Structure 1
């Protein structure tokens, strides 16, 4: 895809056509569209891409259909632990939080870590305290509850005989390019259903789940986080472009559809270069994603047959 200003994703996995109701389909598409139009409006005002990706991800964090913020999945103790990261391609500044319990929008807290501290990554209780110190209201855990996620936890704790433990994707992310050709990326997630307390995946790890560099690409990943960390997936895409001159399409496909599966996992990514070329590779059956063009045209893709692997 070309002439893309902003793209978002709602997680890699499989969503066959006919597997959800028409109402659920509308809810997914409406949520993705709201996120795109929110970020696009900021870019049209001349605001930086960093503002756009934060705003787009906030919309998805507030949408219970996605596994981030409201509607995040439960860990083994029946709690939500939230992870997020954001990166500015212009100067490589970045911020991230992991294991957040009481902050409504972790992506905004990640940006606060970047702009109001000397750190890149803050975790757990310390991250929530940092939020309070910076004027972010305390959010009780019941805010994040949804019945669908609770049912998924119970199912994961009681799998059918011989069945595998269930997990849930639907991590969210955004990548954008602004009028100055500055790019940015952001990712937010609740992680895996029934994950061990304290587990951290790739979403808050700069270079694994999120990366942005004006010389190459802005990337947000989704999938089996442990393997994306081992493969340093997001940075690897950027490095291929930087060191070999590979296009965003080729570099992203090589990492996501070749390297990650070779390590024994699956996933996807949205990758946007400064010229507005978007790649959406995935080794899963599908990748929930959407993008908006410079002229304001919105495309949403949620079913497997709408999401080509490259």
Structure 2
């Protein structure tokens, strides 16, 4: 049996421990644990890494604690425009959707694009229709809206008028979810999903649905899912840069991932990522106050964290 590995994230940022009650941090950790379990069940049953990352991200999209799917950020017009991508390291196949408003789980819409093989990225109502025609659940856009996100939008608009946007908490601004996996057959996969950032211009596209920017997977090298300031990730082709450092320069995973984050830090760019290499080693660097994250060892032991403290989950599926 080959080595299996799985890692997930729910976004990085300022994330002051006092920015929300401890009960909400605990609920977010529970959602991370549920996502880890969903992905690990796929892998431990001999399933594909591609199916594992999709399963894990679906759980995070369904949780109101993260900015993807239900609970996603609202744009400046008070609407949701959801982005997602998924990539299979076997053959470097990818599918992505931009600006969907009806696909309940944008990662499933992205998977439909990948499986369809007719395009890599579809956008807007056409992407929703394409996914729906291939079995993805469609919902009224109001499904994604929560009271917290409505409050966030009002707060960010007020901050914009007052010129205090830079002082906004992570909860007010943005977030992303993602997963990376290695299956028993040695295949790698990655997936990323987001609502963008609160009060973003209508039509804005970040890094999450761009293969090579926010998501990348290549068998024999690595799988990456990023979170942070998407415009910088696009300009730096950040996810692919990790693979390039490993493939061309011979960097180990830790050095490659730390290097791409270090390149962004002097520019004041908040950034984090999760990554796996072909041996199942995990890297999770971030330069912000915290990052929602979780991972499983090859033996199936699970762990989750938001800040420095790590919470052990025990054997997943036990």
Residue number among 247, 250, 261 corresponding to 1:242 in the alignment? 247
Match of residue 62 from structure 1:
62
Q: 1:267 aligns with which of 264, 268, 271?
A: 271
The yes-or-no answer on 1:232 pairing with 2:237 is yes
Residue 133 (structure 1) aligns with: 133
Moved more, 83-92 or 4-13: 4-13
Q: Runs of 5+ in structure 2 lacking a partner?
A: 312-318
**Which residue number corresponds to residue 286 of structure 2?**
282
- Further displaced range: 15-24 or 41-50: 15-24
Equivalent in the alignment of 2:211: 206
Q: Does 1:31 align with 2:31?
A: yes
CA deviations over 1:9-43 (Å, ceiling 9, x no partner): 01011223344323112211110000000110111
Contact residue 85 and residue 94 of structure 2 kept, 8 A = yes
Q: What are the equivalent positions in structure 2 for 1:1-310 lying under 5 Å apart? A: 5-159=5-159, 161-164=162-165, 166=168, 168-256=173-261, 258-304=262-308
Contact 1:14 1:304 (C-alpha < 8 Å) held by counterparts: no
SS of structure 2 residue aligned to 1:268: strand
Offset from partner CA, 1:31-58 (integer Å, 9 cap, x none): 0000000110111110010000000000
TM-score scaled by structure 2?
0.92
Structure 1 counterpart of 2:315: none
Separation of aligned partners in 2, 1:222 and 1:95: 18
Deviation per CA, 1:151-209, whole angstroms, max 9, x where unpaired?
Answer: 00000111173412645232000001111121100000000000000000000000000
Residue 260 (structure 1) shift? 1.8
Contact in 1 for aligned 2:57/2:107 (Cα 8 Å): yes
1:69-113 deviation digits (Å, cap 9, x = unpaired)? 000000011111000000011210000001001110010110110
- Report the CA distance between 1:305 and its aligned residue: 5.5
Distance 2:285 2:125 in 1: 35
Would you say how many aligned residue pairs link Structure 1 and Structure 2?
A: 304
Q: CA RMSD in A?
A: 1.7
Give the 3-state SS of the residue equivalent to 1:158 in structure 2: helix
Cα distance in structure 1, aligned partners of 2:100 and 2:175:
18
Q: Which region of structure 1 is more displaced relative to structure 2, 155-164 or 115-124?
A: 155-164
User: TM-score, normalised on structure 1?
Assistant: 0.94
**Offset at 1:298?**
1.2
Residues 227 and 263, structure 1, Cα contact 8 Å, conserved in 2: no
Question: CA 1:214/1:137 → structure 2, altered by over 3 Å: closer, same or farther?
Answer: closer
SS at 2:173 equivalent: coil
Does the 8 A contact of 1:15 with 1:304 survive in 2?
no
Q: Note if contact 2:113-2:121 (Cα within 8 Å) is conserved in structure 1.
A: yes
Separation in structure 1 between the aligned mates of residue 201 and residue 35 of structure 2, nearest angstrom? 30
